[in-house]
Amino acid sequence: MESDKRFELRMTGSGGQGLILASIILAEAAMLEGKTVTQSQVYGAEARGGTTKAELIVSDRHIAYPKVTDPDLLAAMTNEGLKQYGGGISRRTEVIIDSSVMAIPDLLDEENCRGLVALPIRNTVVARLQSELGLNVALLGIIQGLTSIVRVESLREAVAMHVKKQFLNLNMQALDLGIEMVETQSGQGIRI
């Protein structure tokens, strides 16, 4: 986080991956720690599918302009999402991509972003949890592992607020898996 204690996050992917829900969960976790937030998204006309963008600002102070203008973190879960909403990053932006679904994009280098973390998120989630359902929460684990924007306990509490009981265990595992991926795999993951 920057010295003004403001953190801007943009997540993009495909409709149904749960990225909007993930941004809401992270917002709730930040609120549990007494922070203020603004959460927003771009809607398409589709009921599901299509390319989505979810945004979150976390701050210790009042947030005037509620949309992300200079993201600290961009997480791209599909190639399409990165193409459509990958613009607007700067040298302060750390980029996470899911290398299970896309190659390292040429458009990113040390000139236009702070760093790139390429992790096989989807493949790891499916291999370890035998389900794609925890993908969004695994991403939250990765974001937590990379930024410590909120404490893990707050994230757990917020996940429990939003996830149905029968999927709670799966999502908690997904959260741990995301954190673990940062701890153990980031050495193998590609960074610029």
Partner 1 sequence: MSERVVLMQGNEAVAEGALAAGVRFFAGYPITPSSEIAEVMARRMPQVGGTFIQMEDEISSIMAIIGASLAGKKVLTATSGPGFSLMQEGLGYACMIEAPIVILESMRYGPSTGMPTKVSQMDLMQTRWGTHGDHWIIVLSPSSVEESYQLTIRAVNLAEKYRNPVILLSDETISHLREPIDTSTTPTLVERKLPVDKTGYLPYKTDASLIPTIANLGTGYRTSFTGLVHNESGFQTANGHVAEALIERLRDKLFNNLDDIIQYESDRVEDADIVFMSFGITARAVSEAVESLRSQGRKAGSLRFITLFPFDDDRVRSAAGHARTVVVPELNSGQLVLLIKRVFGDSRQIVPMNKINGDLISPQEILSFVKEENL
Q: Which residues bind partner 1 (CB under 8 A)?
A: 24, 27-28, 31, 34, 36-45, 63-67, 69
Q: Which is nearer to partner 1, 40 or 112 (CB)?
A: 40
Q: Which is nearer to partner 1, 24 or 82 (CB)?
A: 24
**Residue 142 contacts residue 182 (beta carbons within 8 Å):** yes
Tokens of 36: 């203020």
**Residue 9 contacts residue 68 (beta carbons within 8 Å):** yes
Q: Kindly state the smallest distance separating residue 41's Cβ from partner 1, in Å.
A: 7
How wide is the angle at C-alpha 130 spanned by C-alphas 127 and 134, nearest 5°? 95
Q: Which is nearer to partner 1, 28 or 98 (CB)?
A: 28
Q: Kindly state the smallest distance separating residue 70's Cβ from partner 1, in Å.
A: 9
Q: Kindly state the smallest distance separating residue 33's Cβ from partner 1, in Å.
A: 9
Taking the C-alpha atoms of residue 33 and residue 133, their distance in angstroms, rounded to an integer, is 27
Q: Kindly state the smallest distance separating residue 82's Cβ from partner 1, in Å.
A: 20
Q: Which is nearer to partner 1, 47 or 103 (CB)?
A: 47
Taking the C-alpha atoms of residue 35 and residue 51, their distance in angstroms, rounded to an integer, is 29
Taking the C-alpha atoms of residue 189 and residue 192, their distance in angstroms, rounded to an integer, is 10
